[in-house]
Copies of this chain bind each other. A is one copy, B any other.
Amino acid sequence: MIISRNDYIERLSGYRREIYVKGEKIENFVEHPNIRPAINAIAFTYDLAAQKEEYSPFSELVHQKVNRLNYVNRTPEDLIARLDYQRELSMRTGTCHYRCPGADAICSLYPTTKALDQRLDTDYHQKFLAFLKEIQSKDYACTGALTDTKGDRSKRPKEARDMYVHVVEKSDAGIVVSGAKIHQSGAFAADVNFVLPTQTFKQGEEEFAIAFAVTPEDEGVKFILQSTGYQAKFREGGSFEPGNFKYGDRLTCTVIFDNVFIPWDRVFVFEDLEANRHLLTGFAVSHRCAGAACKAGFMDSMIGAASLMLKANGLEKVAALKQKIGEMVGISEAAYGIAIGAATKGYEDWGVYQPNTLIANAGKVIGVDGLNKVIMNLAEIAGGIPVTAPSEFDLKNPEIGALVEKYLSANPEFTTEERLKIIKFIEFWVTSSHLLGGIHGGGSPAASIIFLQILADIKSKEEAVKEALGLK
């Protein structure tokens, strides 16, 4: 089913959730200034799915149209449609839409549970399919949580058990888990949170090799929001002062599992090292590929902002600045091209079509460099004013408003307020949490480089050289 933005928000309003912002427990979380932007961004996924057919494929599982991000990809075309959807979402919201790791979790739990059942004669896949049917039918917004807090990295997980989500009790009804996941983008605004392991584990560490889903009725789940300057700005209000005032920054939280009971129906991997590895590999490749398309969308937003800024300043004809826009376009298209390339040269994994592992990881590495370069170009184009401008409150102040109005004006085709909106939007891009989010979301570039080094078929490249040189 494809629901509307209002359906989603209404459903969300019915949840009881333990959410903390800046040390305070939030009552009406749907209206909280630090949470609402994430809800708006997710709501936009419903809007866009309703507008464009290709973002609402027909699911044979539930015999109806479902959201592209709750869908199990079968073909390259499926994957490409998802990437196009994400690029457009990123461009139009200028931020995370939060459902991406949910899609990655679905596309990696599907093959993992199927392979697991075949190996161990279990019924994880059926349980997963049943849950997925519910997700698709109700058009749930899903997120995915991986990163454990880890604590002292010089210790192995068993020496720091609390720092890794793990099973504390087990009964016929289900399991009780404890631990915390950090860097959880939008978890508090979703219907379902998939919880996946943070890394692969060694023999003897099986207790951490678990995957399950959390729903709003689960007791003991606590969401503690991030606390950056952007959040403080949102709390202060204003009509456009926070820059990306509608959709906000990349809104993340720490999710604490304080002895949370999970019924077996929502446990999809239980203490199995091989399934853990299968799951992580699938999730990583799916997420890193999507991340490249997503970054292209962010860059598109920055290109749009840069172009508007040039116009607002009367600089749109300066060749050296237009060249900088051209460079930004090149980087955006490169990131997108890599994502599409990965999708085109993907592989089948127990019925799911996944992107090419090497190209997806390349997308991560190039994407991070590119995001940084695009931000730098935007910063060069914009000048210093995104971090030095007065606020909208100054513009509206009766004593000095007229002076601010006068001195912030430029190209008369833009009102001062319009120009200030663009400035604040660029401030958002250059000082928000997006750069760090882009670097570390889906794993660091360093992790991808290790992947690339291990997974590449170096041997065939060596053989080519040997053949050319007549070696051996």
Contacts and interface: CB of A to CB of B under 8 A. Distances in A.
A436 B428 CA distance: 12
A91 interface: yes
Contact of A468 (B92, B336, B404, B460): B92
A193 interface: no
A180 B382 CA distance: 19
Nearest to A326: B453
Residue in A23, A258, A470 whose Cβ sees the most chain B Cβ within 10 Å: A23
Nearest to A252: B388
Interface in A295-339: 300-301, 303-305, 307-308, 313-315, 317, 319-320, 322-323, 325-327, 329-334, 336-339
Contacts of A341: 336-341, 344
Given A303-B461, A430-B435, A226 B400 contact: no
A351 interface: no
Residue in A326, A390, A461 whose Cβ sees the most chain B Cβ within 10 Å: A461
Interface string A222-257: 101111111111011000111011110010111010
Contacts of A431: 228-230, 431-433, 435-436
**Interface of chain A, main secondary structure:** helix
A392 B225 CA distance: 12
A336 B344 CA distance: 11
A5 interface: no
A152 B340 contact: no
Interface string A24-35: 110000000000
Nearest to A162: B406
Contacts of A168: none
Contacts of A76: 344
Contacts of A391: 22-23, 227
B323 A449 contact: yes
A261 interface: no
B394 A224 contact: yes
Interface string A390-422: 111111110110011011111110000010011
Contacts of A174: none
A372 to B, nearest CB: 6
Contacts of A344: 76, 80, 340-341, 343-344
A383 B440 contact: yes
A139 interface: no
Nearest to A356: B337
A393 B340 contact: no
A82 B297 CA distance: 29
A127 to B, nearest CB: 29
Contacts of A245: 469
Given A334-B365, A432-B431, A453-B323, A227 B389 contact: yes
B435 A304 contact: no
B458 A313 contact: no
Given A20-B397, A254-B388, A362 B228 contact: no
Interface string A354-367: 00101101110110
Contact of A235 (B232, B394, B411): B232
A256 to B, nearest CB: 5
A444 interface: yes
Contacts of A325: 453, 456, 458
A385 interface: yes
A339 B462 CA distance: 23
A152 B419 CA distance: 11
Contact of A320 (B331, B446, B468): B446
A153 B366 CA distance: 32
Contact of A461 (B25, B301, B453): B301
A236 B362 contact: no
Nearest to A297: B464
Across chains A and B, which 10 residue pairs bring their CB atoms closest together, nearest first?
A229-B229, A23-B393, A326-B453, A337-B341, A304-B461, A387-B433, A227-B391, A340-B341, A232-B232, A154-B314
11 contacts: A151-B410, A152-B314, A155-B314, A222-B403, A227-B391, A227-B393, A308-B471, A329-B358, A380-B439, A388-B433, A421-B469
